[in-house]
Structure 1
Amino acid sequence: MSNKIYPIGIQNFEKLRKEGYYYVDKTALIYRLVKSGSYYFLSRPRRFGKSLLLSTLKAYFQGEKELFEGLAIEALEKDWVRRPVLHLDLNIGKYDAPDSLDKILNEALMKWEIIYGTGVGESTLALRFKGVVERACMQSGERVAILVDEYDKPLLQAIGNEELQREYRNTLKPFYGVLKTMDGCIKFALLTGVTKFGKVSVFSDLNNLEDLSMWNEYVELCGISNRELHSHFEEDLHEFAKARNMTYKELCAKLKEWYDGYHFVENTEGIYNPFSLLNALKRREINSYWFETGTPTYLVELLKRNHYDLERMANEETSSDVLNSIYGDDQPIPVIFQSGYLTIKGYDKEFGLYRLGFPNKEVEEGFISFLVPYYTRFNKIEAPFEIQKFVREIRAGQPDAFFKRLQSFFADTPYEVASDLERHYQNVLFIVFKLVGFYTETEYRTSEGRVDLVVKTADYIYVMEFKLNGTAEEALQQIDDKRYALPFETDSRKLFKIGVNFSAKTRNIEQWIVIPEK
């Protein structure tokens, strides 16, 4: 029986090693990283091991050789040098006021100044940081390592508040600018976060900062690969399968479906979300764990402000320039991708285009469910029960009951969406039918001239066409004229043709007509 202690939520390398938590050895990659460059940025989704990576680097730069006993780096590193480490964790703060960031930075600087002293005339946060770096280097005789965890947390929390974002940018621009001006005193610097933000000197001025996020060489730096899963957790997998009365093959397929699928570089093996995977292994249960630990409210703000077409998320195409681009208020794709809600699903080498999509079932189902309260009048407690009722009505062949319930999803549509009512209407339909699709088989339109939606259950097939400011009769006529139901005429299941009209005036479904066939 496996006796592993899974390091769920453990972000401190010393604690992990001293208290017997299991560690998937990343130190060979860490050694390569340190020896081949100086300034790095790494974007990975939350709960992907970024904090543990920085803690491991901190232990390494502090020369704590005993913590690395038995790991790959023990044989690789011949000269364990103890150097000053300035570790800044911005994940600990709540950034909702202009001075919130100043307080966090000031607290960090005060701790460093107790060790390395203060300087005359260091009146700003940036000047104090510069002074600490310089004195740490001079006093120790070794260049400094700088590690910044979740560098973008203040900016993410301030999305939608332009004034607050401006305050934070004005603070961070000179503060991070120290990394460039003090190059002679810095041995190594790594900043981690979710996404890139423009107008911050880290990316607009510090041109020697290497972005590891889409480097093939460091795909396994955070997360767990399929190779690592089977080399480290093979016994656990067999025990898991037995506990759930599944075959080993069935379990592996299920784990892959739910937690694998993160592709940060084209044509590379998928990476498992480590937090979700380890939780599943520990509890012997496949469930949604990632969304239990946080909600991407900043992402919803981006999507809504840009009137983003949610259906595009299932099959977005973009270029490497966009994926690597600095965040901008008018471009949500980089932050959606870098936050981990989309990943690379395919690559067209000829045109240099990436096809994006949800990485796995946990992300897709969790994220779509999370959107419901933001696009409908139902809260997160009510929404699952409403979806359950939708599915039951579809399975029971009750389309009229289904559409009456759907009307309630559009009730009280806010006036602020009136400027792009069609997009709002499309997004609500996408959310509802995507959630229904987790329990039934759904097909969305794939090109112009294709039916809007087909829903299939064990006993019924629904062919639906939607109109905005038209008529339900026109929608039905299009189904007949373009023979959308033809592919299902020989199917033994009962077929319903449904025409639906949505009214801009009432901001709701105005009429639907159901025609049962055979």
Structure 2
Amino acid sequence: NKALLEWEAIYGTGVGEVTLALRFAGVVERAYKKTGEGVVILVDEYDKPMLQAIGERKLQVEFRSTLKSFYSVLKTMDRYIRFALLTGVTKFGKVSVFSDLNNLNDISMYEPFVSICGMTEKEIHDNLEEDLYELAAMQKMTYERVCAELKECYDGYHFVEDSEGIYNPFSVLNTFYKMKFGNYWFETGTPTYLVELLKHNNYDLERMAHEETSVDVLNSIYDDDSPIPVIYQSGYLTIKGYNSRFGIYSLGFPNREVEEGFIRFLMPFYTRVNKAEAPFEIQKFVREIENGQPDAFFRRLQSFFADTPYELISDLELHYQNVLFIIFKLVGFYTEAEYHTSEGRVDLILKTEKYVYVMEFKLEGTAEEALRQIEEKHYALPFESDFRQLFKIGVNFSNRTRNIERWIVK
């Protein structure tokens, strides 16, 4: 309404223009007729109201209805419009806002525009070469190491299969401004609706590292059935591979900044640990692993499950797996970790300078069974001749105690 009042002050009002859509159409028409020029319409973050109403269905419907009629002007007044550009994070498409806008071209996954929202490696070297050398000097790193670190932290976005990687411009520019590496994108704040979607859909977090989907899903609108379109369109997952035979995309985290930042962000939503405590808890986990203290590690892990409000958890087994995934993913940023899940069990390998841990987790089994599986499946065989001390650990979760029931270290 505020925007329309400002335009109407310039271009005037029309009789009978009482709704937002009619007023917008009137402004467009009068702007064209008064100036003789085609109208340019730029809409930034068209989806902001709907994203803020995720989870509130009544408000969501109301917002969609209002915006649908408002944006439909882009089609009905087509003869007066020279150019229109809408940007946003998520597609609220076919069932609402865009259902009437078939005269728009969606360039989200269109190769000529893959670099429109970011930086290519060539652009960085062409325009910011001096900054790279200055960053190297400030960080006491070689030029080559700085380039590699910049790539690992902020590169990796792919909006079309087999396209060049795109760097996050916000993070790159902040790195050069402050002359040090950091998780700058996450400092702007990650929306909690992403986590609410994951939890609402009982999503297995391990899938995020190797999600597979089709172009229809990547390009689809938000709905309650799958969090993947929103997670992908929000930039937390990106295209990692493409099977042209079946038209299947492989997704994953684009870079270290996103992966580590997002996993850290998830921790307070799945455990008792708040945002301020999380880095210190992870540090304690890592130190216990690096110092060869598996019993201390598992006592701390027990405490992560002890204070969880289980009445809010619909799938206890998935909750165990998701908490383990978060903990071991975060520990894995400081050690070498391989984490796998399959029906009814989890196996994990952690490697540090001095120790190798081979772990097997059971649900409603026994710690003895878990340890026996390590032996029978020869999980530890590749490390038998390793110079590092080897720990084989069997762990059992109990639904009755809703926690780690017992662990055995060999």
Q: TM-score, normalised by structure 1?
A: 0.77
Q: Determine the structure 1 residue equivalent to 2:379.
A: 484
Separation in 2, partners of 1:447, 1:352? 26
CA contact (8 A) 1:257 1:360 kept: yes
Task: Give the Cα–Cα distance (whole angstroms) in 2 for the partners of residues 201 and 451 of structure 1.
Answer: 42
Residue correspondence of structure 1 range 26-37 to structure 2 within 5 A: none
Contact 2:290 2:353 in 1 (8 A): yes
Moved over 3 A (4+): 198-202, 415-418, 446-451
**Residue identity opposite 1:475 in structure 2:** A
Q: Map residues 28-107 of structure 1 onto 2, 5 A cutoff.
A: 106-107=1-2
Distance in 1 between residues matched to 2:346 and 2:64, nearest whole Å: 47
Whether contact under 8 Å (2:72, 2:101) holds in the other structure is yes
Q: 2:129 aligns with which of 227, 234, 258?
A: 234
CA-CA distance at 1:119 after TM superposition: 1.6
What is the CA–CA distance in structure 2 between the aligned matches of 1:180 and 1:280, rounded to whole Å?
42
State whether residues 345 and 360 of structure 2, in contact with CA within 8 Å, keep that contact through their aligned partners in structure 1.
no
Q: CA, structure 1 residues 449+199, in 2 after alignment: closer, same or farther (shift >3 Å)?
A: closer
User: CA offset at residue 457 of structure 1?
Assistant: 0.5
Deviations 1:422-475 (A, max 9, x none): 111111110000000000000122777997110000111111111112221121
User: What's 1:108 paired with?
Assistant: 3
Query: Could you say which residue in structure 1 is the equivalent of 2:170?
Result: 275
Confirm whether residue 403 of structure 1 aligns to residue 298 of structure 2.
Answer: yes
Q: How many residues align?
A: 410
User: In structure 1, what residue type is equivalent to 2:111?
Assistant: N
Change (3 A) 1:450 1:306: closer
Match in the other structure for 2:407: 512
Tell me the SS of whatever aligns to 2:87.
strand
Match of 2:227 in 1: 332
Name the amino acid aligned to 1:392: R
What SS is found at the alignment partner of 2:390? Answer: strand
C-alpha displacement at 1:145, in angstroms? 0.9
Give the counterpart of 1:194 among 86, 89, 99: 89
| CA deviation after TM superposition for structure 1 residue 199, in Å | 5.5
1:143 aligned partner? 38
C-alpha distance in 1 between matches for 2:108 and 2:351: 40
Are 1:457 and 2:346 matched, yes or no?
no
Structure 1 counterpart of 2:308, one-letter code: T
Structure 2: distance between partners of 1:339 and 1:289: 16
Letter in 2 for 1:210: N
* Cα distance in structure 1, aligned partners of 2:306 and 2:18: 55
Partner of 1:164: 59
CA distance in 2, matches of 1:337, 1:261: 13
Provide closer, same or farther for how the CA distance between residues 450 and 502 of structure 1 changes in structure 2, counting only shifts above 3 A.
closer
Residue 365 in structure 1 maps to residue 223 in structure 2: no
Q: CA deviation at 1:202?
A: 3.8
CA distance in 1, matches of 2:93, 2:364: 41
Residue 263 in structure 1 maps to residue 158 in structure 2: yes
- Give, in whole Å, the separation in 1 of the partners of 2:403 and 2:334: 25
- Which residue is equivalent to 1:61? none
Residue type matched to 2:70 in 1? F
> 2:202: which partner in 1?
307
Verify the 8 A CA contact 2:43 2:87 in the aligned structure 1.
yes
How far 1:134 moved relative to its partner? Answer: 1.5
- State the 1:146 CA deviation: 0.8
Deviation at 1:200, TM superposition (A): 5.6
Instruction: Give the C-alpha shift of residue 415 in structure 1.
Output: 3.3
Asked if structure 2 preserves the Cα contact closer than 8 Å seen for 1:407 and 1:508, the reply is yes
Residue 129 (structure 1) aligns with: 24
Q: CA deviation at 1:201?
A: 4.1
Deviates more, 1:254-263 or 1:443-452: 443-452
| Kept in 2: contact 1:169–1:200 (CA 8 A) | no
AA aligned opposite 1:407:
Q
Moved more, 445-454 or 420-429: 445-454
Q: Shift of the alpha carbon at 1:498?
A: 1.0
2:174 and 2:114 map into 1 onto residues whose CA distance is: 22
The aligned counterpart of 1:253 is 148
1:419 to 314, 331, 337: 314
- Structure number with the bigger relative contact order (C-alpha 8 A, sep ≥ 6) is 1
Unaligned runs of 5+ in 1: 1-105
**Matching residue within 260, 265, 274 for 1:379:** 274
Match of 1:58 in 2: none
Paired with 1:165 and 1:276, the residues of 2 have a C-alpha distance of: 32
What SS does the corresponding residue of 1:269 show, helix, strand or coil? Answer: coil
User: 1:44 corresponds to which residue?
Assistant: none
Question: Contact 1:266 / 1:346 at 8 angstroms: preserved in 2?
Answer: yes
Is the contact made by 2:393 and 2:407 (CA closer than 8 Å) also made in structure 1?
A: yes
User: Shift in Å at residue 505 of structure 1?
Assistant: 2.4
Structure 2 distance, partners of 1:115, 1:182, is: 19
**Conserved in 2, the CA contact under 8 Å of 1:313 and 1:357?**
yes
Q: CA offsets per residue over residues 232-290 of structure 1, 9 Å max, x none?
A: 11122112112211111111000000011111111111111001101111211011111
| Residue segments in structure 2 that go unaligned for 5+ positions in a row | none
Q: Report whether the alignment pairs 1:319 with 2:214.
A: yes
- SS across alignment from 1:128: helix
Contact 1:417 1:424 in 2 (8 A): no
Secondary structure in 2 matching 1:346: strand
| CA drift at 1:507 | 2.1
Q: Secondary structure at the match of 1:167?
A: helix
Contact persistence 1:202–1:209 (CA under 8 A)? no
Instruction: Show CA shifts across 1:17-71 (max 9, x none).
Output: xxxxxxxxxxxxxxxxxxxxxxxxxxxxxxxxxxxxxxxxxxxxxxxxxxxxxxx
Query: Which letter does structure 1 place at the counterpart of 2:403?
Result: N
Preserved contact between residue 451 and residue 463 of structure 1 (Cα < 8 Å): no
What is the aligned counterpart of 2:332 among 437, 440, 445? 437
Counterpart residue type for residue 25 of structure 2: K
Percent of aligned positions that are identical: 74
Q: Contact 2:358 / 2:391 at 8 angstroms: preserved in 1?
A: yes
Per-residue deviation, 1:192: 0.2
Structure 1 residues 251, 208: CA separation in 2 closer, same or farther (over 3 Å shift)? same
The aligned residue for residue 101 of structure 1 is none
8 A contact 2:65–2:96 mirrored in 1: no
Describe the SS at the equivalent of 1:203: coil
The aligned amino acid for 2:141 is M
- Tell me, in whole angstroms, the C-alpha distance in 2 between the residues paired with 1:132 and 1:233: 43
Equivalent position amino acid for 2:167 in 1: Y
Aligned with 2:72: secondary structure? helix
Which residue type is aligned with residue 189 of structure 1? A
- What residue identity is the alignment partner of 1:273? N
